[in-house]
Structures are given as C-alpha cells and as structure tokens.
Structure 1
Amino acid sequence: MSKKIISNKNNLQVLHEDNHIIVINKRAGDIVQGDKTGDKPLSDIVKDYIKHKYDKPGNVYLGVVHRLDRPTTGLVLFAKTSKALPRLNKLFAEKKAKKTYWALVKEQPPKTTDTLTHWLIKNPRNNKSTAYSEDISGSKKAILHYKLIKKLDNFYLLEIDLETGRHHQIRCQLSKIGCPIKGDLKYGFDRSNKDASISLHARTLKFMHPVKKEHISITAPLPKDTLWQACED
C-alpha cells in the first residue's frame, strides 16, 4: 500500500500520509533533527507542511521514529500522533519494520551476496565509526546482509538489509570490505559527489500500521541524477 507522491513549496516529497503517520523521501543535505549547525531540520519542515495543509493553530505534533545521515537520501517515517509514536518505536525496537537500502560502490564486492559481521566503535570527536573483525572493548556488534543487484559501467549497485542499527553502519562496513560508497570521503571514497551527497538511499520500508493494523509497503524514488536513474532502468 502506498500513496501518490506529493510535493509542496519546500520541495517536500510526501510518499505516504494518513491521520497517524507521514513518510518523506529525504533529499541529500536535509537533517532529520536539529543539530549544532542550526540548519532547519526536516522535522520542522514537515511540521510547517502539516500546519499549512490543515490550517492547524498552535504547535504541530510530530514524532521522529528513525533517522538518516545528512548526505543520504530516501525514506524517513514520522509519527503525527502521540498514539502512533510509541507503537512505531516498539516496531523498530523489535525489528518488525523492514528497511532496505541501495548503495552504489565503485569496487566489486568479494561476493555477490554475503552477511557482514563486524564490531564498531564510534568516535564522537570526528563523528566516525571504525569496524573491527573481532569484539573489542567498547565495541558494538554490527550485522548486515547485502547482495549485488546490478552492474553498471563503472559502479555496482548493492541492496542492503540491516540486522542491527549502528552509527554509520552501512558506510563503515562496506568500507571495511574495500567497497566505500560513492561520494563518501569520510569512509574512503576518492572524491565527493557534486551535491555533497553519498550514494546511499533508503529504498523501501515495510511495516504494520501502528493504528490501522494494515501492512504498509513504500518505495522511495531514486535521486534524479544520471547514475541513479540508470539503476532504475
């Protein structure tokens, strides 16, 4: 079940909306929640959208369910009601919401399909995680599953399912096997993308609606650049 894409004056792509939830196709550069940069976060932009669309007086309620890194694109789910938020949080905590990501890498991965297991340590000073092949003090276990789904002229398209949700997990683990994501200077790619994005996209999201108890399945359109569009063909 999915809804027609809606755009508004903030170039906001609404992929699904009902009384309790709203799903946005995040652009590269948008931050989901406010940070030290002081830039307006996506959560505030969505609040403005709701306030304007429904002519709501006063403050608009919006709960952040999960996040995406600033340079990534794709699906972000928000709760529009206080009833929906704890139920969605429980779904995600119990791993009953299935998120699938697409990533473009320049180097061919060692296997066409594989499960990667590492132990990650986050360094808050440089906002970067380091992956280790064994459990070390202070590390957190990280597991993901990937498969090669398309070969392009100079890049490879991987589909990724996360078993755990660690800081920069996909970026860090793919870099560890010699496959940094296109544009991701922090994790070893040799040059940045023109728009400062990295080629990592939250592609699909499947979950049970927290109130209606209906199965929801949503796919986020890919960014409109030549390489990503070649993946869609």
Structure 2
Amino acid sequence: MQKLKDKVILITGANRGIGKSLVKAALGKGAAKVYATSRNISKIPDFDDDRVVPLALDITNSKQIAEILERTRDVQILINNAGSLRPGTILEGEKSRMEEDMQTNYHGTVDMMRQFASVLEKNAPSKIVNIVSIVAYSPFPSIAGYSASKAALFSASLSVRTELSKRGVMIQIVNPGAIDTDMNKGSDWDMPKPDNVAKIIMDRVETDELEIIPDTRGLTMFSAWRQEPSNLAAIFDKIYHG
C-alpha cells in the first residue's frame, strides 16, 4: 500500500539537490499536493505538475514560518530538508560560518518542528522527516560546524520523537552519506545521484522506517560506527589527514 498516495507534503529547500529530487519522488508516489519551498521562490524549478505549490520560505525567519503555516494547514508530512554547509575546522574556521550552519540546520529546523507540531497532530496520522547526515554519528573535521549542527539536530529529532509518540506524529530521521549535489561540489568521491537517493528515502518513509540511511557509503560508515564508534572517527581521521 502506498502510504504517500494522496498525502499533502511540505518539503523545505526544494530548489535543488536532494530537496528537488524529493519533490519529484513525492509526485511519483502519488502525493495529492507538494508544497515546495525555498528562500528564493524564483529558484524553485518548474516541475510541470499542478500538484506543486511553490512557496518562499527562509526557515531561519520565525515570522515567515508562521505565515507559511497559515497557508499550509493541510500538511500531513513535513520534510525538513533545507540546510547549509560551510567548510571550516573548529580551531581555524570562521566562527560566523559555524553559526550560519547552526542557525539553519538546527535552530531553523527546530523552529519548523515547533510551529508545525500542532497542525501535524490535528492531521494525524502524520510525519516529520528530518534530513540529517551521517556526520550525526561522528564529525568530519573539515566541516566541523556543519557536523555539530547535524549532531544537534539528530538529538533534537530523537527528543521530538518521544514528545510526539502519543500524538499520532511519527519522526523519521534520514542520515545520508555524501550525495552528488551542489553542496558537495568539487569532491572527488564517488557519490550517488540525488534522484536515486530520494526514491530510496521515500520508499522507506512509506514503510515507517525510523532511521533511514539511503546510500552505500552512509551504510558503510554507520556499520563502522555501530561496531565501535571510534571506528568511524578513525575513518574520518584518515580522510582528513590524506
């Protein structure tokens, strides 16, 4: 049974990368409506589908979230995908870049969950799907601010899962490895295409999988961490030091 068929879905950061692919995957699953949001509405691609409703939304703007909430009270599935990645280490990176990542990836996403929780409860059974990262398990030093923000989001997602467990709202967490998107532009890693990853994510959203790792590299890293957390840290240490 297709659990996404005829559902109303809101996807943040839908202008490119995995967000754009998630919109296409949701349409392919038979969603009744997809709210596709981006800071700049002009950058949202033409999906050539009347079910897509483009909306301008900066998740770091609490007032704007409240305004969008009033226009999307039929949402049943919230996919928090919007994020930022600023390179830099803890000791030598620009502090302002770390703060930008934390503001978007953590504070902005938490604000989305806080404001949409009552609507999702009203529309239950419903879901929040948070796109986090494999670095939630162990930081990668060259993107230390991003890693810290995603680890914080992972923890917050677990907390919200417990808070909403008796209110008909499921929390699913997606921890992908590196995906072939603009965010990872310039990397020489062999990375999967976002369209393929998005399809896997949506398949597993339908099956109510709580922890979703949609790619081979991510699974390899998770397996190393699950066996012994220091193993994943050792992998990142080796990558960082060449």
Structure 1 length-normalised TM: 0.29
Structure 2 length-normalised TM: 0.28
Larger Rg: 1
Question: Of Structure 1 and Structure 2, which has the larger fraction of its residues in strand?
Answer: 1
Question: Of Structure 1 and Structure 2, which has the larger fraction of its residues in helix?
Answer: 2
